[in-house]
Chains A and B, each alone.
Chain A
Amino acid sequence: MGAGLAAVLAYIVNRRILPGHQLLAFLALAPVVIPGVVLAVALFVAYTRPPLVLYGSIWILFVAYLTKEMPVGYAQSDATFKGVHPELEEAGRVLGAGRLRVLGEITAPLARSGVIATWCFVFIGVIRELSASIILFTPNTKVISVVIFDLKEEGQFGAIAVLGLFMLAMTFAAVVVMQTLLGRDFIGAKE
């Protein structure tokens, strides 16, 4: 999800579709300077009162992760789209394809592996996120990193080891799955 949004943003900025695209780029990259704790407190203050009460639900974590990982996702996708030469799209346009069609049939396939890689980065970043989660979690929405933190306070190192291994396995699995997908993609293009 975060990767998807980052990709859309990067595409818009790169192809200068909307006015104010430079402002968009700035906004996407800005969270990198904000420490996770500060971001979390800000979100906490903003979303614990009307009009929008998100605190207590999983959504506040979602918003926090989205904001926090946006710079990573944006930078990755930006590089991906820079790698797709605009002339490749223009060649489609002159032959009669509209902007959307070119996006679907030319840009998207060429950018796919880059976007998947972006997703990997964002996923790993989110899984290990602690500084924002620790402020925004509630008993119903305890994420693994927060649980590990709690267990450490209680000195239960055995449980930590298990959870740690689980986390490791999960990120590892995600990366491996993505790599095989990418690999097949690559082989598919070559045979």
Chain B
Amino acid sequence: MPGVTIKGLTKRYGDVAAVEGLSLEVQPSELVSLLGPSGCGKTTTLRLVAGFLRPEAGEIWVGERCLSSPTGVVPPERRRMAMIFQSYALWPHMTVAQNVAYGLRLKAGVSKTEREARVKDMLRVVQLGGYESRYPGELSGGQQQRVAVARALVVEPEILLLDEPLSNLDANLREEMRFEIRRLHATFAITTLYVTHDQGEAMVISDRVAVLYRGRVVQVGTAEDLFQRPRTRFVAEFIGKTNLVDGVAVEPGVVARGSLRLRVAVTGLKPGAPVAVSIRPHEIILVTGDRATPPGHNVLTGVVQRTSYLGDAVDYQVRVNESDVTLRVTAPTSIRLRPGVGMRLAVAPEACVPLIEPEEGRP
């Protein structure tokens, strides 16, 4: 299985760039999600990789083959890829078996008997044995989705492309299909690009996640990387909930906002530079009474403003004393504090992540 390398890819529609200087490296047999808000260029990227669009700049390589560049695009039918569409795109005039067999019929050197055997096997893998002669219109959404998966995998593509394949399914089925796709990926080890705007889905399903923002990849990493070490404000806010404290670096490892001082996770800051610090709500420890704070932590004092009970945790809004900062804190239900109660907050420096990289269109 070859990997995919995308270099400086740009695609414009009129004056707007749908994709602008996008670079991404997908390792052989890796499953990478393209995650981002609506309109950030995910579908456009996927269609560029599939060969439906010609880029204005940049290149797409699969293994040793350059498939797309501004001077030439290998057409989709000669890319040895398969794609699963948001609409599934099953052909309504063909049976399930005919749909799945289509790609094999076009492959040289696959005999009729082999083809039938492979279709049958693949339908069994996606748990649709016995549905061969049904028409797509006679299947449920989840079953149609599995036919689409079977149709794509049966040709043993080098690259698999998926565009929000689960967005038409209800929550339960979606969860089930996530694991299904994960399982199939483990079985066939096909290099896969998976487009989604659902961060939970991206984190469950992929080896690595590429976060897209305005046509660019702003950060690539494992789910853990992105969650614990976001590099930009956009990533910090897009992946999970967070508190952002805008301040100024006063020492290489300290950020200040008014009289508030936070020791942060890195020590390479330039004093005087504006820095936003991201603190996850569950990384903040509430310390009441005269109990000791954990050693080495940043310690703040504050007053509870609001609380919401979430069942498995309690969500607090805490006003930090002598500053204009309000922090969200997620705490276990074992301590319950009422609005107006004062307490101390302890945050490990490792949990205070400075967002270093500036964002386009933002200060």
Interface residues of A (CB under 8 A from B): 85, 87-88, 90-98, 101, 106, 109-110, 189-190
Q: Are A92 and B85 in contact, CB atoms less than 8 angstroms apart?
A: no
The residue that A90 contacts in the complex, of B85, B93, B107, with Cβ under 8 A, is: B85
Q: Are B83 and A91 in contact, CB atoms less than 8 angstroms apart?
A: yes
Chain A residues with CB below 8 A from B76, complex form = 90, 93-94
How many Å lie between the Cα of A111 and that of B76 in the bound state? 23
Q: Are A109 and B151 in contact, CB atoms less than 8 angstroms apart?
A: no
Q: Are B89 and A95 in contact, CB atoms less than 8 angstroms apart?
A: no
Q: Are A96 and B87 in contact, CB atoms less than 8 angstroms apart?
A: no
Which chain A residue has the least Cβ–Cβ distance from B133? A191
Q: Are A92 and B92 in contact, CB atoms less than 8 angstroms apart?
A: no
If A91-B83, A106-B91 touch, whether A97 touches B106 (CB-CB below 8 Å) is yes
Q: Are B50 and A94 in contact, CB atoms less than 8 angstroms apart?
A: yes
Query: How many residues of chain B have a CB within 8 Å of chain A?
Result: 27
A-B contact pairs, 14 of them (CB 8 A): A85-B87, A87-B89, A88-B89, A90-B76, A91-B91, A93-B76, A94-B76, A94-B77, A94-B81, A95-B152, A97-B77, A98-B75, A98-B77, A110-B92
Closest Cβ–Cβ distance, residue A190 to chain B (whole Å): 7
How many Å lie between the Cα of A106 and that of B81 in the bound state? 19
Q: Are B107 and A91 in contact, CB atoms less than 8 angstroms apart?
A: no
How many Å lie between the Cα of A190 and that of B90 in the bound state? 15
Chain B residues with CB below 8 A from A85, complex form = 87, 89
Q: Is B141's beta carbon under 8 Å from chain A?
A: no
B52, B79, B89, B106 — which one has the most chain A CB atoms within 10 A of its CB? B89
Chain A residues with CB below 8 A from B93, complex form = 109-110, 189
A88, A91, A94, A95 — which one has the most chain B CB atoms within 10 A of its CB? A94
How many Å lie between the Cα of A97 and that of B102 in the bound state? 9
Q: Is B209's beta carbon under 8 Å from chain A?
A: no
Q: A93-B77, A98-B77 are in contact. List 20 more A-B contacts (CB 8 A).
A: A85-B87, A87-B87, A90-B50, A90-B52, A90-B76, A90-B85, A90-B89, A91-B90, A91-B91, A92-B91, A93-B75, A94-B50, A94-B79, A95-B77, A95-B82, A95-B152, A96-B107, A96-B155, A97-B102, A106-B91
Q: Are A91 and B77 in contact, CB atoms less than 8 angstroms apart?
A: no
Q: Is B103's beta carbon under 8 Å from chain A?
A: yes
Chain A residues with CB below 8 A from B61, complex form = none
**A-contacting residues, B121-168, CB 8 Å:** 135, 151-152, 155, 161
Closest Cβ–Cβ distance, residue A154 to chain B (whole Å): 53
Closest Cβ–Cβ distance, residue B266 to chain A (whole Å): 44
Determine the main DSSP class of B at the interface with A: loop
Q: Are B50 and A92 in contact, CB atoms less than 8 angstroms apart?
A: no
B78, B85, B151 — which one has the most chain A CB atoms within 10 A of its CB? B85
Instruction: Please give me the 5 A-B residue pairs with the lowest Cβ-Cβ distance, nearest first.
Output: A95-B103, A96-B106, A91-B89, A87-B89, A93-B76
Q: Are B155 and A91 in contact, CB atoms less than 8 angstroms apart?
A: no
How many Å lie between the Cα of A96 and that of B82 in the bound state? 9
**A-contacting residues, B45-101, CB 8 Å:** 50, 52, 75-79, 81-83, 85-87, 89-93
Chain B residues with CB below 8 A from A88, complex form = 89, 91
Chain B residues with CB below 8 A from A109, complex form = 93
How many Å lie between the Cα of A55 and that of B136 in the bound state? 53
Chain B residues with CB below 8 A from A95, complex form = 77, 82, 102-103, 106, 151-152, 155
Chain A residues with CB below 8 A from B106, complex form = 95-97, 101
Q: Are A96 and B135 in contact, CB atoms less than 8 angstroms apart?
A: no
Which chain B residue has the least Cβ–Cβ distance from A95? B103
Closest Cβ–Cβ distance, residue B353 to chain A (whole Å): 40
How many Å lie between the Cα of A72 and that of B312 in the bound state? 64
Chain B residues with CB below 8 A from A93, complex form = 52, 75-77
Closest Cβ–Cβ distance, residue A23 to chain B (whole Å): 19
Chain B residues with CB below 8 A from A106, complex form = 91
Which chain A residue has the least Cβ–Cβ distance from B76? A93
Closest Cβ–Cβ distance, residue A72 to chain B (whole Å): 26
How many Å lie between the Cα of A93 and that of B89 in the bound state? 12
How many Å lie between the Cα of A88 and that of B106 in the bound state? 16
How many Å lie between the Cα of A97 and that of B104 in the bound state? 11
How many Å lie between the Cα of A101 and that of B78 in the bound state? 14
A87, A88, A95, A97 — which one has the most chain B CB atoms within 10 A of its CB? A95
Chain A residues with CB below 8 A from B82, complex form = 94-95
Chain B residues with CB below 8 A from A91, complex form = 83, 85, 89-91, 151
Closest Cβ–Cβ distance, residue A15 to chain B (whole Å): 11
Closest Cβ–Cβ distance, residue B155 to chain A (whole Å): 6
How many Å lie between the Cα of A95 and that of B50 in the bound state? 11
Closest Cβ–Cβ distance, residue B136 to chain A (whole Å): 11
How many Å lie between the Cα of A109 and that of B94 in the bound state? 10
The residue that B83 contacts in the complex, of A94, A98, A101, A189, with Cβ under 8 A, is: A94
